[in-house]
Amino acid sequence: MSSGFFIHPSIFFFAGMAVLPFLKGIQRNVFLVILPLIALATVVNIDPGQYASLKITTLELIMGRADKMSLMFAHVFTLMALLGTIYGMHLKDNWQIIAAWGYVGSALGCVFAGDYLTLFLFWEGLMVTSVCLVFLRKNRASLRAGYRYFLVHTAGGLALLAGIFLLYYHTGSLAFGPFEPNNASWAVYLIMAGFLLNAAVPPLHAWLPDAYGSATVVGSVFMCAYTTKTAVYALARAFPGFEILIVLGVIMALYGVVYAVLENDARRLLSYHIISQVGYMVTGVGIGTAMSLSGTCAHAYAHILYKALLFMGVGAVLEVTGKSKFSELGGLWRYMPYSLVFTLIGGLSISAFPGFSGFVSKSMVIAGAWQSHLIWAALGLTLASAGTFLHTGLKVPYFIWFWKERPPFDPPKKEAPLNMQIAMGLTAFFCIFIGVRPQALYSMLPFNVEYHPYTLYHVMESWQILLFTMLGFFLLIKKLTPEPLIGLDVDWFYRKGGGLFLKFCKGVLAKVENGLIMNIHQTFFLPLMKIIASFCSWNDQKVVDGIVDGTASSTLTLSSRLANALQSGLLYRYLAAMLTVLAAIIGATLWLTQWIK
Amino acid sequence: MFFVKALSYTILVLLVVTDLFVPREHPHFIGDFIPGFWAVFGFTSCAMIIVVSKWLGKKFLFRPENYYEDENSEETNGYV
């Protein structure tokens, strides 16, 4: 235990959940801003060290491991809580904010956890609270998507728990620290599987676009920030230098880009780009050098802000028009110009334009790959970044705000609510601030690395990639015309698989039951049972009843004789009996007292 | 519109031309020595992503929007 300033920032959010329902009007709005601000101020002032540990026999649970890495993630988590809460301030019902705060509190709990059991506890909290943000959309599609999300994450959580138990059985320790890549056991890989599921690494990723595309407008702004980045934090803690993560990360980065081409729903497209962007972070963890791990942390920080900004922009359109499909949108620049500007800033940030936050963070991961001479990884990630600009920087703004002269429907001629615009403006400010003053971000990094993003060559390289991607976009724009289609992903296996299983039950299992088992039952077991039953009945009537009847009649005879002997009605017989009993008691007492002495 | 197009193409050409004079401080592989390499890389990446993804979609992955709904439509009542 260290001495120094530490208050677990989760406490504010968990307490806030309980207080919020009692507040109304201006009090509520002030509270919504003040509480995340207090949490942010707390995180900024926490002294690094180890706090809040609890010893249960041989287990040591640590709730407060604060070092540079956990503080960096906690910093962006609380900042994001502030921005997201402002974005959701206009909501009449408090439930979404309450669920979101529980979600933030759980994510902070994971970040400060020093052992796997504490981590698991908050990990499950993350799932339970975030699924509420899907359910609160309150339509049939989101109800279904929410259940799928819940089941998939339960499976992941169980893999993690099994890994934790095995780990404790083998090593006797639950400390949440790095594993050795060379002799990793089954336990370690089970834990990794649990983390990879939350990081949405293919083929464990399909829950992400499914849930984030179905959640509430405010809910998906929160969800895009916490679940995957908590998993990235956990991976960076436990699995630096596991080379399999390099391969998985590059595949992820490209997979998300490919599926984003096929996507017609703006929020699902952005979801696939979360997968792509988390791919960079997973690659960084796999490389495991100080530079690439710093890249992972910096990119996670920047990513939370610009991805939230993108979800806010697209969410504003959904809130105002009720639509999020490209094939139903277009021509909105007239009516929602501010949302357009903010979404563009998010798009330029994620595309790593010089001057925006992605440029100073994404390039660190790629630089880490170059430094470790992983040419294929560096080129793969650069390829993915061209795809990122293609979709998020170009396709999203173009097909929502331009494309058609007028929207293909009658739009409500207004901008998003003021609080949404304020939240977008603040988030956009941070995206640009990080891009212009990267030192502010780098000073929070857990490692001391020397990195300068703004070299002439790097800026030139970026401009070339981005502007020529733009050229490709406008030359091939006909191919990108939105179509009202969906692309199959691996969720097919459980969405259609569930139906197939039902068909199997109805078709095959029911036939086997009716045809075969019933038949065997009727021809063999039923006659057998009848024979056994008739034997039992004979046995019961003749043997058992005979014995019982015999017993009953003899008991009757015996008791009548006894009654005659005992209740004779003669006084002297009673007296004699009483005296005999009295003498027996006195004798017994005397004998007992002697024996006690 | 013609003006915008002309300006855009001029910027692209200038970008490649100036690349001839940019010093290479930490070249990592052969591509870093070729002027305009990243321009070609960017353009081909973009074209490849669009073409390959659309091909995958058309060939294997595209389905109508109500693809998942039909299967479950028998028990729709009871929900919001």
Q: What would the pLDDT profile of A274-305 be if each residue is shown by its tens digit? A: 999 999 999 999 999 999 999 999 999 999 99
The predicted model gives A439-461 an average pLDDT of: 93
DSSP secondary structure, B10-30, as one string: HHHHHHHHHHTTS--SS--SG
Checking if the pLDDT of A68 tops 70, the result is: yes
The predicted model gives A429-452 an average pLDDT of: 94
The predicted model gives A215-232 an average pLDDT of: 96
Task: Provide the angle, in degrees to the nearest 10, between the axes of the packed helices A418-436 and A337-350.
Answer: 30
A43, A65, A113, A277, A384 from A47: Cα distances, Å: 9, 10, 16, 31, 39
Residue B77, pLDDT score: 43
Interchain pair A386, B49: CB under 8 A:
yes
Window from A411-420, A434-443, A571-580, B12-21 with minimum mean pLDDT: A571-580
The predicted model gives A318-337 an average pLDDT of: 92
- Residue B13 distance to chain A (closest CA, Å): 10
Of these ranges, A210-214, A412-416, B1-5, the one predicted with the greatest mean pLDDT is A210-214
DSSP H/E element including B64: strand B62-64
Omega prior to A9 cis, within 30 of 0:
no
Measure the CA angle with vertex A126, ends A194 and A493; round to 5°: 50
Report the DSSP beta bridge partners of residue A64.
A51
Residue A597, pLDDT score: 60
Identify whether the C-beta of residue A6 lies closer than 8 Å to the C-beta of residue A49.
yes
Instruction: Give contacts of B 13-52 with A, CB under 8 A.
Output: 15-16, 18-19, 22-25, 28-29, 32, 36, 38-43, 45-52
Residue A110, pLDDT score: 96
Q: How far apart are CA A208 and CA A227, in angstroms?
A: 10
Helix, strand, or coil here: A331?
A: coil
Checking if the pLDDT of B71 tops 60, the result is: no
Residue B70, pLDDT score: 59
Comparing A532 with A569, which gets the higher pLDDT?
A: A532
Residue B62 at interface with chain A, using a CB cutoff of 8 Å: yes
The predicted model gives A178-207 an average pLDDT of: 93
Residue A1, pLDDT score: 62
- CB nearest A370 (choices: B12, B28, B67): B28
pLDDT band at A19 (very low <50, low <70, confident <90, very high): very high
Contacts of B62 in chain A (CB under 8 A): 262, 483, 485-488
The predicted model gives A157-161 an average pLDDT of: 96
Residue A22, pLDDT score: 93
The predicted model gives A470-476 an average pLDDT of: 93
The predicted model gives A549-559 an average pLDDT of: 83
Checking if the pLDDT of A269 tops 90, the result is: yes
Interchain pair A143, B79: CB under 8 A:
yes
Residue B70 at interface with chain A, using a CB cutoff of 8 Å: no
CA A403 to chain centre: 36
The predicted model gives A25-49 an average pLDDT of: 95
Mean pLDDT taken over chain A: 92
Helix, strand, or coil here: A53?
A: strand
CA A155 to chain centre: 11
- Chain A: residue whose CA lies nearest to B71: A499
Residue A592, pLDDT score: 83
Q: Any idea where the domains of chain B sit in the sequence? A: 2-62
pLDDT band at A593 (very low <50, low <70, confident <90, very high): confident
Name the CA radius of gyration of chain B, rounded.
24
Q: Mark B61-71 as b/e (b = at least 16 C-beta within 10 Å).
A: bbeeeeebeee
Window from A245-249, A341-345, A356-360, A514-518 with minimum mean pLDDT: A514-518
Give the number of other CB atoms < 10 A from CB of residue B13.
Answer: 11
The predicted model gives A349-369 an average pLDDT of: 95
**DSSP state letter for A115:** B
Which among A507, A489, A511 is positioned nearest to A499, based on CA atoms?
Answer: A507
Give the number of other CB atoms < 10 A from CB of residue A281.
Answer: 33
Please give the sequence-ordered ranges of beta strands (E in DSSP) within A451-547, or none if there are none.
485-487
Task: Provide the angle, in degrees to the nearest 10, between the axes of the packed helices A186-198 and A116-135.
Answer: 30
Q: Within A263-289, where are the H helices? A: 266-287
The predicted model gives A352-356 an average pLDDT of: 94
DSSP H/E element including A249: helix A244-262
Give the number of other CB atoms < 10 A from CB of residue A413.
Answer: 9
Could you tell me the two tokens for A204? 């464990």
Identify whether the C-beta of residue A336 lies closer than 8 Å to the C-beta of residue A416.
yes
Comparing A43 with B69, which gets the higher pLDDT?
A: A43
Q: How far apart are CA A42 and CA A379, in angstroms?
A: 41
Q: How far apart are CA A104 and CA A160, in angstroms?
A: 21
- Chain B: residue whose CA lies nearest to A375: B29
Of these ranges, A373-387, A557-571, B14-28, the one predicted with the greatest mean pLDDT is A373-387
The model's pTM is 0.85
Residue B76, pLDDT score: 46
Helix, strand, or coil here: A62?
A: strand
- Chain B: residue whose CA lies nearest to A384: B45
DSSP H/E element including A202: none
Comparing A85 with A57, which gets the higher pLDDT?
A: A85
Window from A128-142, A159-173, A282-296, A510-524 with minimum mean pLDDT: A510-524
Tell me the ipTM for this assembly: 0.88
Report the DSSP beta bridge partners of residue A516.
none
Identify whether the C-beta of residue A298 lies closer than 8 Å to the C-beta of residue A265.
no
Please give the sequence-ordered ranges of beta strands (E in DSSP) within A474-564, or none if there are none.
485-487
Window from A118-132, A218-232, A489-503 with minimum mean pLDDT: A489-503
**DSSP state letter for A175:** B
- CB nearest B42 (choices: A259, A465, A499): A465
Using CB atoms within 10 Å of the CB of residue A51, give its burial: 0 to 12 exposed, 13 to 18 middle, 19+ buried: buried
Q: How far apart are CA A195 and CA A228, in angstroms?
A: 9
Inter-chain Cβ pairs, chain A and chain B, closer than 8 A: 142
Among residues of chain A, what percentage have pLDDT more than 90?
A: 72
- CB nearest B79 (choices: A140, A484, A485): A140
Residue B4 at interface with chain A, using a CB cutoff of 8 Å: no
pLDDT band at A116 (very low <50, low <70, confident <90, very high): very high
Q: How far apart are CA B20 and CA B23, in angstroms?
A: 8
Among residues of chain A, what percentage have pLDDT more than 70?
A: 99
CA A272 to chain centre: 16
The predicted model gives A493-497 an average pLDDT of: 87
Comparing A475 with B1, which gets the higher pLDDT?
A: A475
Q: How far apart are CA A162 and CA A304, in angstroms?
A: 30
Q: How far apart are CA A451 and CA A92, in angstroms?
A: 46
Identify whether the C-beta of residue B31 lies closer than 8 Å to the C-beta of residue B37.
yes
Checking if the pLDDT of A530 tops 60, the result is: yes
Name the CA radius of gyration of chain A, rounded.
35
List, in order, residues 6 or more apart from A341 with CB less than 8 Å away: A428
Residue type at position A402: F
